[in-house]
Amino acid sequence: KDICTSCNVLADLILDTPGYNAVDATIDALWAGTPVVTFLGQTIATRISASLCTAAGCPELITDSLDDYKNLATSLAVDEVKLHTYRQKLKMSRVGPHQAPLFESIKTLRHLEAGYQAIWGRKLDRKAPTDMIILDKAPLGKNEQAAIIM
């Protein structure tokens, strides 16, 4: 894993495959600060990298046509300043004062835990499953405050 992530630091740009997204390789590249150009397809297998780019704070790397995919990839390949701007944006999204959701592992874990607590609390109270939203600033351990039940 460390070797793969290290290789992504050496890459200037990653072109995600339009037919089936790279997923783990996309995550590794974004963590390494390497921009990933992706195409937003119609199936879950072709939409995952778009979600990851959005969660990394770079939705501009998502294209919705193959022409746009080619044009963005070409422009990043030939425009060193533009490429550097995205590399810096990814770096700040990872280590800056306002981390992007993809890089906030602790917060993501707390949201997951709060969700599990809310689900378990509903189960213990014999309530039906429902949609819920986990709040960013919810105190942990209090199901009624950790989630908004829809």
Tens of pLDDT, residues 47-57 = 999 999 999 99
Residue 133 pLDDT grade (very low, low, confident, very high; cuts 50, 70, 90):
confident
What distance in Å separates the CA atoms of residue 93 and residue 88, rounded to the nearest whole number?
8
**Residues 2, 6, 7, CA angle at the centre, nearest 5°?**
120
Residue 147 pLDDT grade (very low, low, confident, very high; cuts 50, 70, 90):
low
The percentage of residues in the chain with a pLDDT greater than 70, rounded to a whole number, is 85
Instruction: Check if the beta carbon of residue 37 is closer than 8 Å to that of residue 29.
Output: no
For residue 69, CA distances in Å to 35, 75, 115, 126 come to 13, 10, 36, 49
The percentage of residues in the chain with a pLDDT greater than 90, rounded to a whole number, is 63
Average pLDDT over residues 76-86: 97
Taking 90 as the threshold, does the pLDDT of residue 4 lie above it?
A: no
For helices 48-55 and 24-32, angle between their N-to-C axes, nearest 10 degrees: 20
What distance in Å separates the CA atoms of residue 6 and residue 48, rounded to the nearest whole number?
22
Q: What is the pLDDT of residues 107-122, one digit of tens each?
A: 888 888 988 998 999 9
Per-residue confidence (pLDDT) for residue 2, from 0 to 100? 59
Backbone angles phi, psi at 28, to 5 degrees: -60, -45
Per-residue confidence (pLDDT) for residue 141, from 0 to 100? 46
Count Cβ neighbours within 10 Å for each residue of 73-94 and write b for 16 or more, e otherwise. beebeeeeeebeebbebbeebb
Instruction: Check if the beta carbon of residue 131 is closer than 8 Å to that of residue 150.
Output: yes
What distance in Å separates the CA atoms of residue 86 and residue 138, rounded to the nearest whole number?
32
